Homo-oligomer: A and B are copies of this chain.
Amino acid sequence: MAETSSKTKYYVGVDLGGTKILSGVFRNSLECVGTAKLSTKSQRGVPAVIERVARCVREALDEADLPLKQVAGVGVGAPGAVNFAEGRVIFAPNMEGWKDVPLKKRLEKQLGLPVFIENDCNIAALGVHVAELKAKPRSLIGIFVGTGIGGGLIINGNLYAGFNHTAGEIGHMVLDVNGPKCGCGNKGCFEALASRTAIFQQIKAGVKDGAKTLLTDMLGDHLDDLRSGDLRKAIRRGDKFVAHIVEDAAEYIGIGVANLVNLFSPEVVVLGGGVMEALADEMMSIIVKTARDYAMPGTMKGVEIIASKLGDAAGITGAAVLARRETR
C-alpha cells in the first residue's frame, strides 16, 4: 500500500493501445504502486474510449489506495501521430474514428488533473531511458516489435521528436524495396518483414501450404488465438518451421538495427514490445550478430544492444516520466 501523506505527489502513466488500456500509479522515484487494465473497446467510439481511459486511471489509484487529488499529473502514450503541444491525437490507424482528437483537453475535464500526451513508442523509449537505464546514455534508440514496429529516439539526453513530431517512424523504413506489401501501401517496410503481424502471416501461409508445425496441434488448423508466446513454446519443443521463421524475422531486425546505428550512432539500442518480451532468448543473439555484420566499421564500437526488462510496463512508466517532467 502506498503512503497516503497528503504531501506526497504521484504520477499516473497510461498506455492507450488498440486492444487494451494499461495504467500505473508511480511515486516520484518511479516505483509503481498500483496498476489497472481495461480493454479499449474502440468500436464503441472515441468518447467511450476516453471515458475508459479515465476509468482506468481511477482504478489504478483505487488499487494504490490513493485519491485523485494526490496526483500531480497524468501522462498518456497514444498510438499514431500525436501533436504534443496541443495534446491532440492527429491520427491513430488502429482505433476507430481517432482523427484529430483533443485527448488532453477531454481527459483534463474528466479527471480535473493536468494531462500530457505523447506517441506511444516515444513514451516507451523515454520509460526505458529514464527508469531502466537511469538516463545515463546520451543517445538511445528504442525499437518496439509488436503488432507493428515503432521506435523512439533519445538524442543529447532528451526525447527527440523532430520538426513534425513524427521522428522514430522506423516501422516504415523500407528494407526490401521488392519485398512483401505493407499496410501503409509500400513494399518491404521493416514492419512488413519482422512484426508479429508479418511473422504470423508467414506461419499461416506456411501451414496453408502444408508445413508441419506443433502450432496446429496446440491451436488447431486455423491457428486461432495464436500468440507470440506460442511461438516460444513451439521452438522450445523443437519446431524447426517456427524456429526458421522467427530467425528470419530476427535477421531483418538485425538489419534494421544496423541501418539505425549507421544513421544515428546511438550509445544504446533497446529492443522491446510483445514479440521481444516473448522471444528475446530466441532472437537477441541473431539480432546482435546480424547488426554487427551489417553495420559499417567503427559504428558499433562500444554500442550496447539490449532487450528491455520493462516489458509491457515500458509504456506506463514512460508516461509517468512524461507527467513528472511536465509538472516539475
Q: A residues within 8 Å of B by Cβ?
A: 81, 90-91, 138-139, 151, 155-156, 160-170, 172-179, 184, 186, 188, 252, 255, 258-260, 262-267, 294, 296-303
Contact = CB atoms under 8 A, between A and B. Distances in A.
Given A81-B298, A184-B296, A294-B186, A264 B177 contact: no
Nearest to A298: B81
29 contacts: A81-B297, A139-B162, A155-B155, A155-B156, A155-B160, A161-B265, A163-B265, A163-B266, A163-B267, A163-B302, A163-B303, A164-B299, A164-B302, A166-B262, A166-B265, A166-B296, A169-B296, A173-B262, A173-B263, A174-B175, A174-B258, A174-B259, A175-B175, A176-B176, A176-B177, A176-B178, A177-B255, A178-B178, A186-B294
Given A162-B264, A174-B294, 13 more contacts: A81-B298, A138-B163, A139-B162, A163-B265, A163-B302, A163-B303, A166-B299, A170-B262, A173-B262, A174-B175, A174-B258, A176-B177, A177-B179
B264 A167 contact: yes
Most chain B beta carbons < 10 A, residue from A176, A178, A263, A298: A263
Contacts of A179: 177
Most chain B beta carbons < 10 A, residue from A255, A262, A297, A301: A262
B298 A174 contact: no
B259 A303 contact: no
The oligomer's copy count stands at 2
A163 B186 contact: no
A151 B163 CA distance: 18
A202 to B, nearest CB: 16
B303 A167 contact: no
